[in-house]
Structures are given as C-alpha cells and as structure tokens.
Homo-oligomer: A and B are copies of this chain.
Amino acid sequence: MHNPFVPETLEGWSALHLMYRIDWGRLGQVYPGERHQMAEEFAGVFAGTVASATEGGNALVQMLGHKGDLMAIAFRRSFDELGRTQLALSRCKLQAYLTLTTSYVSIVELGMYDMTAKIHRQLAEGGLTHGSDAFVTAFDEEMERQRQRVTGRLFGEIPHRRYVCFYPMDKRRGETHNWYAVEFERRAEMMVEHGKVGREYAGRVTQVISGSIGFDDWEWGVDLFADDPVTFKKLIYEMRFDEASAKYAEFGPFYTGLQFAPGELRKLLEGELPSLT
C-alpha cells in the first residue's frame, strides 16, 4: 500500500451509463396512449430505483447521432444498486423498442496526485519513516480527512445542465511515451498543469471523473455538463495542448446529447424535443 509511485484515489458513487437506440419504426406503430404509458413506466421505474438524493442520482439524455437515442446515467451507492437499476429498466415495457448499444461501468473518483505528494512530504518532514506503522496510520488518517473534505464531490448531484458530453479515456502506455513509466513528480506536475486549464472553465463546465480500471475497457470516464455545447469543444481543444493530454491521453468515443427531465420522456417518444425543466 501507499506505493509512492501510485497516486491515492478516493471513491464515490458507483456509476452506470446506458445508451439505448430506439426502434422508431416499430414504436411508431404503437398507439399513442400505449407509448405514453411506456414512457411513464420507464421514467417512474428509473426514479424508483433511487430512494433519496443521498442514495444516488439519475439523468436522462437525448443523444445526437446514431450511437443511441437515449442515455440513462445512474449514480448509486454500490454495484448491487447499479445491478438492481439495470434489471429494473430491462423489465420495462419500453425495452421491447430499445437496444442497449453501449454502456459504461465506473466509480466516481478523485485522483489525489497533489494530495498524495503533499502528504508524503508532510509526513516525511514530520520525521516519519516511509512505510512504518506510524507513517501508515498518519497517512490513513490524513486520507480520511481528505475524504471528508471532498465528500460532496464524491457523492454529488448529477449537474442539472442542458448539454452533456461523455467519453472514456486512457493514459497512454506507448513504447516511447508511457504515462505509467513516468516519475511520480513529473506526473503530478502535468496533472497540476492539466487542472489549471480545467479551472479556467470552472463556472462554465461541471466535470465528473469516474475510474473504470477493472470495470470497463478504458481507465476513466469523463462526464461534462454545460449550458453551451461550444464550451466542451473549447475546453477539450485547449486541454489537448497541455502535456498530460498531448502526449499521454488516448480518447475513446464521444457521446453528446441534451439532458431532459424524466417526465419529458413521453415527448421524446412522440418526436418532440424534451426540455430540462
């Protein structure tokens, strides 16, 4: 534990992204009343899988393009709750008109590069020998303090903003540029630099990072929420020039869409633009 080359991470919500394609041809042959009922059932069942805001969060997103028509985002207390949610949605009547085209399984995560470094430094300055029992105890106490401090970010609400951008990413393990073979300090510096770009966009974009090593095909998932989609383009383009991204980031597919209020799902099925409020 406390491998000095491995940054500590703090974990929050278990997260599941489900992207569905709608079979519009067949759905169009259903009576409007039945479509309405199916929309209500789906939205209701989804809402019902979260007992309260402290137990999780839900979002529905109208996707643009062919990758899907509807994305359901679920933040929960555990993988069991994610499993329960996916099963509940799977048994909805609307499911006969849905195909689950892709998905993402992850856990909301805060990577603690600077914190890890700082704690190590502080503890070392306090005269603790790295790896000693006293060190480990002090370290764990400090980490717990940090966890308390950032609990709002680990278990926060899904941002209530119109535009959503989701993509998974890796840190490159190329034959020349290999993030995992770079010194901890160098990585920490690059992450600081990377964070600076993010902070410039603070009010305009809300970001949720989740870790997916061991759960899905990429190392991290990134959810961005904004009131103007151009912000996504500006932010990610600018970041692409910082060293952490330019040299070490590998990006997966991007999913874009418009968040809407669950009660508006019936509008979507009727071909009308659902709104967020």
Point out residues on A near B: beta carbons under 8 Å: 1, 3, 5-6, 9, 11, 14, 16, 18-19, 22, 24-26, 28-29, 62, 64-67, 69, 79-80, 82-84, 86-88, 90-91, 93, 95-98, 100-105, 107, 109, 162-163, 165, 167, 173-178, 180-181, 197, 200, 211-217, 224, 229-230, 232-238, 240-241, 243, 245-247, 253-254, 256-258, 268, 270-273
| Residues of chain B with a CB closer than 8 A to A25's CB | 95-98
Question: Do residues A64 and B90 form an inter-chain contact, with CB atoms below 8 A?
Answer: no
Question: Do residues B233 and A107 form an inter-chain contact, with CB atoms below 8 A?
Answer: yes
Question: Which of A1, A180, A245 is packed against the most chain B CB atoms within 10 Å?
Answer: A180
Give Cα A100–Cα B25 distance, bound, in whole angstroms.
Answer: 11
What would 27 A/B residue contacts be, using CB atoms closer than 8 Å?
Answer: A5-B241, A6-B237, A6-B238, A18-B65, A18-B66, A25-B97, A26-B96, A65-B86, A65-B104, A79-B229, A80-B258, A87-B272, A91-B270, A91-B271, A107-B230, A165-B214, A167-B214, A173-B246, A175-B175, A180-B245, A211-B233, A213-B232, A214-B224, A214-B232, A214-B254, A215-B229, A217-B253
Give Cα A140–Cα B213 distance, bound, in whole angstroms.
Answer: 40
Question: Do residues B165 and A215 form an inter-chain contact, with CB atoms below 8 A?
Answer: yes
How many copies the complex holds: the figure is 5
| Residues of chain B with a CB closer than 8 A to A240's CB | 173, 180, 213
Question: Do residues B105 and A24 form an inter-chain contact, with CB atoms below 8 A?
Answer: no
| Residues of chain B with a CB closer than 8 A to A86's CB | 64-65
Given contacts A214-B256, A215-B229, A236-B214, contact A66 B100 (CB under 8 A): yes
Across the interface, A64 reaches (CB within 8 A) one of B82, B88, B91, namely B82
| Residues of chain B with a CB closer than 8 A to A243's CB | 181
- Which 3 residue pairs of A and B lie closest in terms of their CB atoms, listed nearest first? A25-B96, A91-B271, A214-B232
Give Cα A177–Cα B212 distance, bound, in whole angstroms.
Answer: 26
Apart from A6-B237, A214-B229: 18 A-B pairs, beta carbons within 8 A: A1-B200, A9-B237, A24-B90, A64-B79, A64-B82, A69-B90, A80-B258, A83-B257, A83-B258, A87-B271, A165-B215, A175-B176, A211-B237, A213-B233, A214-B233, A215-B232, A216-B254, A217-B254
Question: Which of A18, A19, A217, A245 is packed against the most chain B CB atoms within 10 Å?
Answer: A217
